[in-house]
Structure 1
C-alpha cells in the first residue's frame, strides 16, 4: 500500500521523478527557505582560561548517591602542553582544582587549588565529618603521580609519591600530607 501511494504521488507531481528524488528536492527547498545566519567566531584571547578548560581532566566527582554533604568536582590541570625530558623536574606542573557547592540556587561554588605537583591520582572519599562550628566537610585523599612517558628509569625510581588528605566545605578547607614515599608523616 505504501509503495502504491508513493508511486501515485510521484505520478501526479512529476511522472519521471522517483519518490526519492522528490524527497530530496523537498529537503533542499526547505533548507533554502530557512533563514540562515552565519558569523565569525574568533578564538578567546584568554590563554590561561583556554589552557584550563582545554586540558582539564576530571579525576573524581560526587554524585547524587554519595553520602558527601557537598557536590565536589576534582580536576587535574597541567600548566602547559609539554613533555618530560628525562628528569622529573622537566615535566610540566599539574594543579589540582577542587570545586565545592551545596547545590543551592544562585550559589557561587567555592574553588580550592592545591600546590602544583607533576600529576595527581584520586584515591577515595572518606566519611563526611562536622567541624567544630557545626559545618559539614567533605574529605578525600589524593596521591601525587608522574606522567607515564619520557622519564628516565633512575629519575622514576628516585621519585617518592605523597598522599594528601583534603577537607573542604563551602566556606573553607585544609590539606595535609599524610604519607610521603610510602612512609606516614606524623600529624601534629
Structure 2
C-alpha cells in the first residue's frame, strides 16, 4: 500500500502540471468622451402605511424596540409607492417607487436608509428609472439623498434629490414627499 503523504504530493504535482486554459469574451472600445446631460425632475412620492391598500408594508423588525416612533429602529419596509406630478391624490400618475427602506436610528433623529428604484411609466422618461441608495434624515427640514444609477434614458446616472415633506401623519406614518432631483446621465 502506498504512503498517503506520497499520494497527496504526487496528486498536487500532477494537478499543478496540468495547464489551465480559459477563454472569455472581451472587447475594448475606443474611449469616447461624452458630455453628460443634466436633467431636473420634480415629483411627489405617496408613502401610505395605513388603510386597506398600503403602499409600504413591514417585512421585518427587530426583537428589541427603541423609542416610540411609528417606524421603530430596525424595522424594514418593502414599498411600491406611486409617483405623481402633484401633491394631490388625483394628480397624474407618472410612475412608481419600488424598493425598501429601514429605520436606522435609535434616537429622536428619525433616519431611514433607502434603496429605491424610481421608475417612470408615463411622459418623456417612460421606461426609464433612477436609483437611490442613501441615508434619509427624515427630521431635517432640508435633506438630500444620492442618486447612484439608472436605466433607460438615465443610464449611468448620478446626482442628488432634495426632499421636502409635503404631508406627514405622525400617528400612522402616511407621507407625501416632494422630490426635486438633479440627474447627470449620458
Query: Is this a same-fold pair by TM over 0.5?
Result: no
Band the TM-score falls in, shorter-chain normalisation? under 0.3
Higher relative contact order (CA 8 A, sep 6+): 2
Radius of gyration: which is bigger? 1
Point out the structure with the larger helix share.
Answer: 1
Instruction: Give me the TM-score of the superposition, normalised by structure 2.
Output: 0.24
